[in-house]
Amino acid sequence: MNNVNIKINGIELSVPADYTVLQAARMANIEIPTLCYLEGINKLGACRLCVVEIKGARALQAACVYPVNEGMEVFTNTPAVRRARKANLELILSNHDRSCLSCVRNRNCELQKLAEEFGIEDIPIKGENDPVHEIDDISTSLVRNNNKCVLCRRCVAACENQTVSVISCINRGFDTTVNCAFEKSISEVGCIFCGQCIVSCPTGALTEKTSIPQVINAIDNTEKHVVVQTAPAVRAALGEEFGLPMGTPVTGKMVAALKRLGFDKVFDTDTAADLTIMEEGTEFIERFTKQEKLPLITSCSPGWVKFCEHYYPEFTDNLSTAKSPMEMFAAVIKSYYAEKNNIAKENIYSVAIMPCTSKKYEAARPEHSTDGVQDIDASLTTRELARMIKQAGINFAELPDEEFDDPFGTATGAGVIFGTTGGVMEAAIRTVYEVLENKPLENLEIEPIRGMDGIKEATLTIAGKDVKVAVCHGTKNARYLLEKIKAGEKYDFIEIMACPGGCVNGGGQPIVSAQERAKVDIRAERAKALYAEDRASKIRKSHENPAIKLLYSEYFEKPCSHKAHELLHTHYTKRTKY
């Protein structure tokens, strides 16, 4: 790509010819405020906060969409620019519910930050309509509050990027809202509850449906035995909520915080990830041997499962019947663990800390219950756990590292990497290879299926046979891969994660501002923490986990046994889009 020569605020620059003014300014470390712009997702110049003055142009231009050209002179801080930006921000604020102190995004709101930077002390303009939108809190996972919406359309773009597209702008002028078709609740359309709209939203217009009060009540109830499990991706991101650098693994501090919050037992979902590999790996071997219902497609991501049920129901038979690690663990806790400790399962309150808003939906699915008792009582996001820690006055950064409780505190490196795209497949290959080859796998790091490429493919030779595998993340890539299969492409084993990057970038993870997202690949940074923990693990293969070996010898007998199928496997529903 050729470069062009431009000036920004008198600074001479040579920038790629396909850049916008915003990109050129950021290249020169010149900050231009944005609100609707989201790197790689949304670029439409709607909020007009990024306006700049272009020499020779008749009007101010939106930097996020205005292309550079040879000899261009740009000014980002003239009186006209400052007046326009402040006026546009005041207009946005005029129709915004400004109950900031009680908003879940207080101090992590891009609109609030802009108001502070622009020195907004009063709103001289009153909006045409007072905020009177009804809050949509019917779903198990998401809450939509259009009173706090600024019509930036970042959520719409994120949903389109997932190729789900259940929200869009309806009506015109002051009546414009972001809504579902026919103004239905998000629970009444084909939403997969991935939460990518939440992590894209600059304000508190979209949030997870919190279960914090219920969990606190359970902890305070002396008749309840409250057990908590934590997913691998949580430890890779929780530290961000307390000022630690992105990608800092905080496993020990997380465990210490959970114990101080009052949970009776703190277990590691990674242990159940190892259990999932035993069940799913055995299921793959059986299907591959019989050449039935291939490709086998992983089922750990509830957003992906719901996407498949709604948009590709013809592939539900290809989904692994193995429950997700969260649900497997929950079933074990209310069966094996309850029996071993003489605790009635009705008296166990099972909590899961997940990087995912769709896990709330998964926890409520009727398939994940036994004798009318739901296996998971509450699923909290990483953000909700951070709020609980802050509310309890725990100084997270200063906590000493503590260990998970037995008997489910032992996990392998294979279980840890479940939290990033390619991790489930890599963990499965480590075990499937050694089971079929009956010898150690020399290189445990399967590089062809690592990284952030949308779709990764590899052909592996195992026990003298070629096994074609594929890994993809984000339902846009899932749709492309499934269409290839429908067109005749053959695969044996596929991993799909609903969220771009996998669980490390789940809809329940700490929210990163648009400005920070433009500078760093948060998916890759958080994944580094998981791979580092895998490399440091003494045991890196699921079938070598002593806790899993004990579980099979004492309770399940063997993978995919009758009892294992009763408790650790599930079924799916072919749904319509709406």
> Is 233 a domain residue?
yes
- The active-site residue out of 208, 240, 241, 280 is 280
> Is 578 a domain residue?
no
- The active-site residue out of 300, 308, 472, 560 is 300
Same domain, 176 and 259: no
DSSP codes, 21-71 = HHHHHHHTT-----SS-BTTTB----S-TTEEEETT-SS-EETTTPBP-TT
Q: Examine the fold and report which residue of 54, 75, 93 is the final residue of a domain before the chain moves on.
A: 93
| pLDDT value for 291 | 94
- The active-site residue out of 241, 362, 384, 533 is 362
C-alpha torsion sign, points 564, 566, 567, 570 = positive
Q: What is the CATH number of the domain that holds 74?
A: 3.10.20.740
Same domain, 360 and 276: yes
What are the pLDDT digits (tens) for 174-230? 888 999 998 999 999 999 999 999 999 999 999 999 999 999 999 999 999 999 999
- The active-site residue out of 308, 472, 499, 503 is 503
| pLDDT value for 317 | 96
Catalytic, 499? Answer no
> Is 63 a domain residue?
yes
| pLDDT value for 577 | 65
Displacement of CA 172 from its chain's centroid (Å)? 32
Same domain, 243 and 193: no
Q: Examine the fold and report which residue of 72, 93, 114 is the final residue of a domain before the chain moves on.
A: 93
- The active-site residue out of 141, 320, 335, 358 is 320
Same domain, 558 and 470: yes
C-alpha torsion sign, points 385, 387, 389, 391 = negative
- The active-site residue out of 283, 309, 426, 495 is 283
Rounded Cα gap, residues 446 and 458, in angstroms:
10
> Is 105 a domain residue?
no
Same domain, 505 and 549: yes
| pLDDT value for 174 | 80
Same domain, 471 and 432: yes
- Do residues 504 and 233 lie in contact, with contact meaning Cβ atoms separated by under 8 Å? yes
Catalytic, 367? Answer yes
Same domain, 406 and 309: yes
DSSP codes, 182-229 = GG--GGGTT-----HHHHH-SSSSEEE---HHHHHHHHH-TT-EEEEE
> Is 110 a domain residue?
no
Domain that holds residue 147: 122-208
Catalytic, 350? Answer no
Catalytic, 168? Answer no
> Is 108 a domain residue?
no
- The active-site residue out of 253, 259, 306, 359 is 359
| pLDDT value for 482 | 97
- Do residues 535 and 384 lie in contact, with contact meaning Cβ atoms separated by under 8 Å? no
Catalytic, 362? Answer yes
Same domain, 192 and 298: no
* Region at 285 (left for phi over 0; alpha for psi -120 to 50; beta for the rest): alpha
DSSP character at residue 322: B
> What pTM value is reported for the model?
0.95
* Region at 238 (left for phi over 0; alpha for psi -120 to 50; beta for the rest): alpha
Phi, psi values for residue 385, rounded to 5°: -60, -40
Rounded Cα gap, residues 250 and 397, in angstroms:
9
Same domain, 250 and 195: no
> Is 99 a domain residue?
no
> Is 98 a domain residue?
no
Tokens of 141: 């996972």
Same domain, 469 and 497: yes
Instruction: Give the count of domains, the chain.
Output: 3
| pLDDT value for 520 | 93
- The active-site residue out of 134, 314, 339, 367 is 367
Catalytic, 320? Answer yes
C-alpha torsion angle, residues 118, 123, 124, 125 (rounded to 10): 110
DSSP character at residue 544: G
Which residues in the chain land under pLDDT 70? Answer: 1, 128-131, 577-578
